[in-house]
Amino acid sequence: MCGRFALYSDPFALAHRFSAEVPTGLRPRFNIAPTQAILMMREESNRRCFTLAHWGLIPRWAKNRDIGYPAINARADTIAYKPVFRDAYRRRRCLIPVDGYYAWQAVPGSKAKLPWFIVLRSRLPMALAGLWERWRSPKGEYVESCAMIVTEANTLLRPIQNHMPVILAPGHWNDWLESTVHDVKLLQSFLKPSPDDDMSAWQVSAMVNNQRNDSEECIEAVV
């Protein structure tokens, strides 16, 4: 699964990468955790737009927003029929830009887990496949939320963790963002593990385990 990530690219670089207006109010983040506001991209009036959303999808039918914490990830193999995600999957898809994400590797015979930082070999920002929703509270307030889609890990990353987020290739971005695309077979064809050759990973320190630690030290390789 994916429970922490980093986004530190310059806003102008993000705008160029995703062919959108420059996102405002961003600062480099190295340890982004669930329930925080994260950057997502969706299509509005035939153009790509950045906006912030609560990380943890809250379905429209939820009685309260507490359901959003466990819904930070959606599994690719159940997304089409799981009630929490299926409506957003058909109508409200987004991209979640990240520079890299963290995964924790189990240590045999120990309760400790080793954190790793995973990036594209090109070091370009990833476009993670995501879903978004707009939930209305009983008081009439609106909350926009999102979740990342995960699939089985590729062979390079499987020794670390058995799942990885879906990283969409640029050629799939338009179809993914277009709300009128309802072809489930087409959408499912995008939800595959990234090729091993596209990825790079290194072990980092346990300081990332505490979300209050949010500095560049979090992504530095340990020797």
Q: What is the pLDDT of residue 68?
A: 61
Identify the DSSP state of 76.
T
The DSSP symbol for 1 reads -
CATH number of the domain to which 41 belongs: 3.90.1680.10
Please give the tally of structural domains in the chain.
Answer: 1
Instruction: Give the residues of the chain that fall short of pLDDT 50.
Output: none
Residue with tokens 């969706």: 42
Question: DSSP label at 139?
Answer: T
Q: In whole angstroms, what is the distance from residue 220 CA to residue 202 CA?
A: 8
Name the token pair of 160: 């670390």
- Number of helices (H), then strands (E), in the chain: 4, 12
Taking the C-alpha atoms of residue 152 and residue 165, their distance in angstroms, rounded to an integer, is: 8
Question: Given this model, what pLDDT does residue 106 score?
Answer: 93
Q: Specify the pTM.
A: 0.95
d(CA 71, CA 158): 23
Contacts of 109 (CB under 8 A, 6+ apart): none
Q: What residues make up the domain containing 149?
A: 5-219
Looking at residue 45, what is its pLDDT?
A: 86
The beta strands (E) that lie in 45-89 are given as 47-55, 73-75
